[in-house]
């Protein structure tokens, strides 16, 4: 894995390409970018054929140990690794600990163990079990075992310090096993930066992790709902100063476009793409603008008109930010009655299969009658829209148009949406 940065502007983000990915090194991924979020290797609602009708798809597929751990015995018997097991071809496989789209109960980690939650309940992992799993999964890169239970604000300094210490100890143990196992030759490890909302612990975690032979860094415990963006920006800015320039930084659990933009400016390279899936599960279509070639002033007016027409008003303060199931201001609710006779596409000008062939009224009908096709069509559009947003973000960075893009994406200010009822 090799990160080539073409442009770094302090406080304005990093633009580049992550090269030589995968065991044969033939893949690359542009940054800022995101990984392809999957459940056991499949993008929810979409078959492989449908998925590959989309452009801008990332070359890295994310799978999570929380989903895979309960299938360890089957995988061991299969012997050929998760990629072949899931029928994945021509993709880089990244294995993370938790699924960012599924909330993870806290209070179960101990000094020697970390718990993950699959469909069958809790599975306790020691470093030995964690590494045995990595050997059966055979990813191209994986996140080291980490105690990430300190994301809630108000976590004591003592608990946060313990989490940083444990995560470093887990990393050292993982690296020791990794370096002595033939099966993991050529596989890369990402160290995990913890530290809750305590600046000194964040800096210590970043500095210490950077001393280890890791290929990159996962920034954990900064997910949506854990803190406001000003604090998140402050913590990420402080941590990234401690990290080497030439290694990628992956931020876990942040997917909202406004937060993505702010975190890119703070020095983040990679994100997880679970946000389109969450919007789909809410019966919503991503509709935020990111076309910087159009007049930004006009774009703001258009967005305001759309929101006024829909009876949606924005709230700057999140009344319950930890609730990730809540609709955001970057989407429209297609279950809403006003779309019953709305014959426009989800997004005017979008080239995805859903927008080319269907109208909002049809999606509304599918949703209220609980047709499975609703999820399929929404996921096609939401996935296409989200990955196109990342491409627009890279182009904006390359062309000094980040401010224009921010105005376009944020509209009147961004944030969560309250419905007037």
- Indicate which single residue of 65, 125, 262, 355 sits in contact with Zn ion (rule: CB under 5 A): 355
350 in a known ligand binding site: yes
Q: Considering the complex, what minimum distance in angstroms separates the CB of residue 339 from Zn ion? A: 15
**Binding residues for Zn ion restricted to 109-168, rule: CB under 5 A:** none
Q: Considering the complex, what minimum distance in angstroms separates the CB of residue 381 from Zn ion? A: 4
The one segment of 104-112, 168-176, 223-231, 378-386 that binds Zn ion by CB under 5 A: 378-386
Size of the chain in residues: 421
- Indicate which single residue of 352, 367, 376, 392 sits in contact with Zn ion (rule: CB under 5 A): 352
34 in a known ligand binding site: no
The one segment of 202-210, 273-281, 290-298, 374-382 that binds Zn ion by CB under 5 A: 374-382
Q: Considering the complex, what minimum distance in angstroms separates the CB of residue 383 from Zn ion? A: 9
- Indicate which single residue of 350, 376, 379, 405 sits in contact with Zn ion (rule: CB under 5 A): 350
381 in a known ligand binding site: yes
The one segment of 74-82, 85-93, 166-174, 354-362 that binds Zn ion by CB under 5 A: 354-362
> Rule CB under 5 A: is residue 249 a binding residue for Zn ion?
no
- Name the pairing type of β-strands 2-9 and 13-21: antiparallel
Contacts of 342 (CB under 8 A, 6+ apart): 359, 360, 361, 364
Residue 195 has which token pair?
């530290």
- Indicate which single residue of 381, 387, 406, 408 sits in contact with Zn ion (rule: CB under 5 A): 381
User: What Å distances lie between residue 75 and 29, 43, 72, CA to CA?
Assistant: 28, 20, 5
Q: What is the DSSP letter of 169?
A: H
Rounded to 10 degrees, what is the CA torsion of 378, 379, 385, 391?
180
Q: Which is nearer to Zn ion, 379 or 402 (CB)?
A: 379
Helices (H), 86-228: 127-137, 157-179, 199-210
Q: Considering the complex, what minimum distance in angstroms separates the CB of residue 82 from Zn ion? A: 31
The one segment of 9-17, 186-194, 245-253, 347-355 that binds Zn ion by CB under 5 A: 347-355
Contacts of 97 (CB under 8 A, 6+ apart): 64, 65, 66, 114, 116, 143, 145, 146, 148
Give the bridge partners for 14, in sequence order: 8
Q: Which is nearer to Zn ion, 130 or 275 (CB)?
A: 275
Element housing 230 (H / E): helix 229-240
Sign of CA dihedral 385, 386, 388, 389: positive
d(CA 388, CA 54) in angstroms, rounded, equals 10
Q: Which is nearer to Zn ion, 85 or 386 (CB)?
A: 386
Contacts of 100 (CB under 8 A, 6+ apart): 37, 223, 252, 253, 255, 272, 274
Which positions lie near Zn ion, rule CB under 5 A?
350, 352, 355, 381
Binding residues: 350, 352, 355, 381
Binding residues for Zn(2+): 350, 352, 355, 381
């Amino acid at each position: 894995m090799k990160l080539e940065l073409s442009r770094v502007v302090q406080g304005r983000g990093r633009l580049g390409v992550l090269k030589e990915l995968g065991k044969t090194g033939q893949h690359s991924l542009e940054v800022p970018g995101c990984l392809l979020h999957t459940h056991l290797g499949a993008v929810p609602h979409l078959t492989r054929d449908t998925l590959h009708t989309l452009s801008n798809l990332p070359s890295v597929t994310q799978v999570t140990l929380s989903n895979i751990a309960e299938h360890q015995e089957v995988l061991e018997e299969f012997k050929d690794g998760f990629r072949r097991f899931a029928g994945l071809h021509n993709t880089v496989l990244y294995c993370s600990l938790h699924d960012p789209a599924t909330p993870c109960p806290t209070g179960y980690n101990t000094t020697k163990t970390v718990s993950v939650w699959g469909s069958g309940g809790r599975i306790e992992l020691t470093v030995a079990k964690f590494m045995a799993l990595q050997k059966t999964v055979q990813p191209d890169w994986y996140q080291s075992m980490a105690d990430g239970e300190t994301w809630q604000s108000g976590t004591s300094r003592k608990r946060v310090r313990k989490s940083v210490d444990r995560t470093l100890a887990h990393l050292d143990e993982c690296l020791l096993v990794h370096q002595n196992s033939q099966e993991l030759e050529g596989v890369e490890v990402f160290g995990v930066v913890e530290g809750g909302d305590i600046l000194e612990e964040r800096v210590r975690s970043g500095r210490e992790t950077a001393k280890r032979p890791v290929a990159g860094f996962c920034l954990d415990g900064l997910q949506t709902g854990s803190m406001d963006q000003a604090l998140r920006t402050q913590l990420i800015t402080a941590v990234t100063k401690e990290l080497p320039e030439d290694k990628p930084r992956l931020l876990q659990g942040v997917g909202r476009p406004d937060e993505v933009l702010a975190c890119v400016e703070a020095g983040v390279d990679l994100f997880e793409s679970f946000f389109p899936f969450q919007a789909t599960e809410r019966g919503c279509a991503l509709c935020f603008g990111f076309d910087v070639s159009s007049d930004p002033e006009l774009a703001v007016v258009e967005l305001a008109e759309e929101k006024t027409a829909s009876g949606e008003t924005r709230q700057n303060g999140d009344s319950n930010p930890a609730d990730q199931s809540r609709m955001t201001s970057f989407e429209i609710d297609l279950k809403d009655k006003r779309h019953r006779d709305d014959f426009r596409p989800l997004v005017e000008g979008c080239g995805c299969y859903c927008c080319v062939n269907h109208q909002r009224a049809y999606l509304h009908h599918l949703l209220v009658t609980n047709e499975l096709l609703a999820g399929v069509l929404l996921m096609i559009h939401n996935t296409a829209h989200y990955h196109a947003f990342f491409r627009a973000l890279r182009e904006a960075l390359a062309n000094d148009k980040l401010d224009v893009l921010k105005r376009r994406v944020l509209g009147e200010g961004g944030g969560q949406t309250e419905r007037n009822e």
